[in-house]
Amino acid sequence: MAVATNHSLWLGLAGLLPLLVYVVLVFRGTDILAATALCVVLGAFLSHQTLISFGAALANAMGSFLALVGLIIMLGRGLGEVLAATRVSHTLVHRIIHTIGVDTEKKAMLGIMAACLVMVGLLGTMAGGNAIIAPIVVPIAAGVGLSRSTVGVIFQAVGEEALILGPFSPPVITLLGLTHIGYAEMLLYVSGPVALITLTVTWCMIQRIQRRTRDSHPYAPPAELARFAPTPRSTRATLVFVGAFLAAVIYGLVTHAPTSFVVVIMLGLSFITGLVGGLTFAEVLGLIVKGMAGNVGLFLLFLLLDPFITFVEQAGGFAALGAFLKPVMELGGRPAIVMTGGFLGAFGISGATVATLKLLHEMFGPLLAKYAVSMLAWSLALVVATRVHNFVFPGANMVSSLGFAESDDMRSMLKNGWVVGACQLAFLACFSLVFA
C-alpha cells in the first residue's frame, strides 16, 4: 500500500514538470511567451488532453480572471497613450518636481521618487511610467549633481513599490482577485509596510551610492535644463483626470466594486481626459488601440497561463506538491506555509508578476485551505515573493531602469536590491509568525 502511495506521489510530482521547465527556460533568458507556449503543450501531454479538450481549455481561458487582467493591462497602456498625448502625464511630473522646489541633491531625490511613485502607480507599468518622467527629471538630476547610478536605483526601487500601491495596477488587481482582501486592508497591512520598508532602505542606500558615484558616474552638465511648461489646456485636463481618478477609487472602495469595474474606469478616464485635453473621439479611440496593440503579446501570455495552470493541476502536480511538503508544514504550521511560499517565489519562480502570483496561489491552494492560513499573511507572501525576485535578480525592470537613467552601474542596483530583499524577507518571517 505504501509502495502504491509513493508511486502515485511521484507520478503526481511529474505533473510539475511543465512548471520546472518553465522556470529553467525563463532563467536561461527564453522569451516568456515562447516558454509558456512550450509548457502548455507539455502540460497538455502530461494531463492526457485531446485536441478537442485542448481547444476547449483555450476557449475557456478567454473568460478567465487572467484574461480579464490582460485586458486591463492593455487598456492601461491605452490610457498611458492618452495621458502622453494630452500632456497630462508631463504636467503631473512638472507639478511634483516644482512643488518640492528642486535645488539640492536630497530635494532632487525626493522629487524623482515622488514623480516615479505617482506615474508608475497611475499607469501600472514601470517602463511606461519611467519613460514619461525620465526626459523631465534626468536634466534636473544633472543640474544638481545626482549620479546616473543614484537615479537608476530610484527608478527601479520606487517603481517596484508603486506597482503594489496603485489601485488599478495589474499586481494589485490580481492580488485582490486571488485573496479577496480589501484594498484598504492591503494598503494598511501588506503593500504599505513593504513599500515603507523598501523606500526607507533605498533612501539610506542612495545616500551612500551618491557619495560613491558622484564623480565616477556623473551626468554631463546640461547646457540648459529641459523645462516643460504646462499649458492651460494640459492643466485643465490634468485636474479633470485627477478628479475623475479619485472619484473612481472612492466609488470602487465604497461599493466594493469587482475587478471588471476597472475596465469601465480605464475607458472612462481615457475618454474624459482625452476630450478635455483637446482630442476628438476618434483620436482617443486611435490612441487606446495603439496602446493596446503594444501589449497583445502580454494578453496572449495570460490566455495561455490559464490552461497551463489547469493542466498542471489535472496532472496531479499541485496535489502531489502539497503531499510532499506536508511533513514540513505539519512541523512549522501556518507560518511555514507562508514563508515557504514567499521564499519560493523570491528565488524559485521567475516571469511576469501576474503569472507568478497566480502560479504560487494555485500551487499552495490546497495547503492554504487545509491549514486555514490567513489571507492577509498569504497576501504578504505573494507581494514579497514578486518584489524580492525583481530586486535580487537582473530582470526587465532593473535593466529598463538603468536605461532610462542612462546608467550602466548594475552593481549599485544589485547592492540596493539585495539589502531591500533581505529586509522584506525578514519582515515576512516576523509577520507570518504573528498573523499566519
Q: What is the pLDDT along the chain (436 residues), one digit of tens a residue?
A: 444 455 555 666 677 788 778 767 766 767 778 888 888 898 888 888 888 988 888 888 888 777 777 787 788 778 878 888 888 877 877 777 777 676 788 888 988 898 889 878 877 777 767 776 776 777 778 778 889 899 999 999 999 999 999 887 888 888 888 888 888 899 999 999 999 999 999 999 999 999 998 888 887 765 444 566 788 898 999 899 888 888 887 887 677 766 677 788 888 989 999 999 989 999 999 999 998 887 788 788 778 877 887 787 777 766 666 666 667 666 767 888 888 888 877 776 656 677 788 878 887 887 788 888 889 999 999 999 888 888 887 666 777 787 778 787 878 888 899 899 999 999 999 988 887 6
Distance CA 435, CA 380 (A): 10
DSSP 170-222: HHHHHHHHHH---HHHHIIIIIHHHHHHHHHHHHHHHHHHHHHHTTTSBPPPP
* Residue in the structure block whose three cell numbers are 522629487: 111
- Give me the long-range contacts of 25-32 (CB less than 8 A, separation at least 24): 26/350, 26/351, 27/350, 32/301, 32/351, 32/352, 32/355
Residues 6+ apart with CB under 8 A from 191: 161, 164, 165, 172, 383
Nearest to 288 by CA among 75, 68, 73, 71: 75
pLDDT of the residue at 221: 67
Distance CA 239, CA 303 (A): 36
pLDDT of the residue at 379: 93
pLDDT of the residue at 224: 44
Nearest to 427 by CA among 194, 201, 187, 205: 194
Distance CA 329, CA 337 (A): 6
Residues 6+ apart with CB under 8 A from 147: 209, 210, 213, 214, 216, 217, 218, 219
| DSSP 8-state assignment for residue 164 | T
C-alpha cell at 94: 512638472
| DSSP 8-state assignment for residue 39 | H
